[in-house]
Structure 1
Amino acid sequence: MRKRQRHAARALLAAVTAVLCLTGVAPARPAQAATLGVSATISAQAVVVAAQQVGKPYVYGASGPAAFDCSGLTTYVYRTRLHQYVPRTAQQQYDASIHLARSQIRQGDLVFFYEGSVRNVYHVGIYAGGGRIWHAPHTGARVRLATIWTNVWVAGRVA
């Protein structure tokens, strides 16, 4: 059974790497990955699951599968699809995450945007690599891949 799981994990990682290469996002190097929190495999799966939601509408309070708000997207990806617990709101997700230096961020980590201090987190997305996140931006928009637009953000890893 373990051999089959390892083979499946390697196949999934290869598929994710191929997708990331096609989108111009370089996969994280193993030396960059911190050993805390969810595994690199689950983090890579989070990017794939988030990408599968592209084009779905933003609806305040929605957590999928047809529509999302920002923290609803991260909740859907991690809790519903990958069976990793995350709280519902962006602030709660920040509070529960393993806080990272920017140099430790890898694909699948959460990127939190705040105003004034990290006690005022107002938005969250899933890091895709290359300075980009998957997120549900605001009313009238759809889930999309976007470049991080500000320097006022911190990173966290699902514990």
Structure 2
Amino acid sequence: MKNIILGSCAALSMTLSLFFEHTPTNKNAKLNTVETASVLPLNLPEDPIITETTAPTTSFKDTLYYNYYAQTLGVKLNYSENKQLLATVAEWLGTPYRSGAASKKGTDCSGFVSKVYKEVYGITLTHSSRSMFQSVERIKKSAIKAGDLVFFRRGPGKPIYHVGIYLNNNKFVHSASNGGVMVSSLNQAYYARNYYAAGRVNL
């Protein structure tokens, strides 16, 4: 009888031992599975923002740069304009008009254009809007790009009397006799009426 009891206890002990050894293994397996699933989900959603086709072509630094000058000049930019051109014309804003002059103490339209072109492009232009027109490649108004020149005259057969530098979105920078260096629109009635042509300097 004693032997039967001892045998039963041994069998029970062996069964319980197997049970407790097996249970933690399953728990650990479940925990590992859960941890792995939480870190590396099986069905990762595709990021809708950072993709090859939607990645921005302009760096964050460039974006800040263009946004600053867009606000300073009051012009909608397309982020491809010459950065030095934008910075240079911004430095001239507010310069008073002075006929025959070409400095930041005072400048006329052609003096302003010639100074900017020398500083930005290293090109020397004559201090005369009429002479400038003779040295540029005539382009269509629809093809104007930042840095191109825009010319004005007071009616058919009249000589060219004014020149400015095109920026973007129908805006150009120039030295006006009634306000000095400023940004104006080709859509303004006065400039729309007197606009003559656009020209590109071969850089």
The interval holding the TM-score normalised by the smaller chain is 0.7 to 0.9
Residue equivalent to 1:27? 78
1:108 matches 2:147: yes
Alignment gaps of 5+ in structure 1 = 1-9, 30-39
Q: 1:78 to 1:15 in 2, by over 3 A?
A: farther
1:78 matches 2:127: no
1:6-55 CA distances to partner (integer Å, 9 max, x unpaired)?
A: xxxx99976653334433412276xxxxxxxxxx64xx533431221011
Identity across matched positions, percent: 25
Q: Which runs of 4+ in 1 moved over 6 A?
A: 10-13
Residue equivalent to 2:180? 142
1:51 matches 2:94: no
Kindly indicate whether the alpha-carbon contact (under 8 Å) linking 2:130 and 2:160 is maintained by their aligned counterparts in 1: yes
1:97 to 127, 130, 136: 136
Which letter maps to 1:45? Q
Alignment gaps of 5+ in structure 2 = 1-58
Which letter maps to 1:27? N
Q: Kindly tell me the number of residue pairs found equivalent between the two proteins.
A: 137
Counterparts of 1:12 and 1:102, CA distance in 2: 32
Q: 1:84 to 1:113 in 2, by over 3 A?
A: same
- The structure whose residues are more often helix, as a share, is 2
How far did 1:64 drift? 1.1
Residue equivalent to 1:17? 66
Residue equivalent to 2:197? 154
Q: 1:132 to 1:24 in 2, by over 3 A?
A: closer
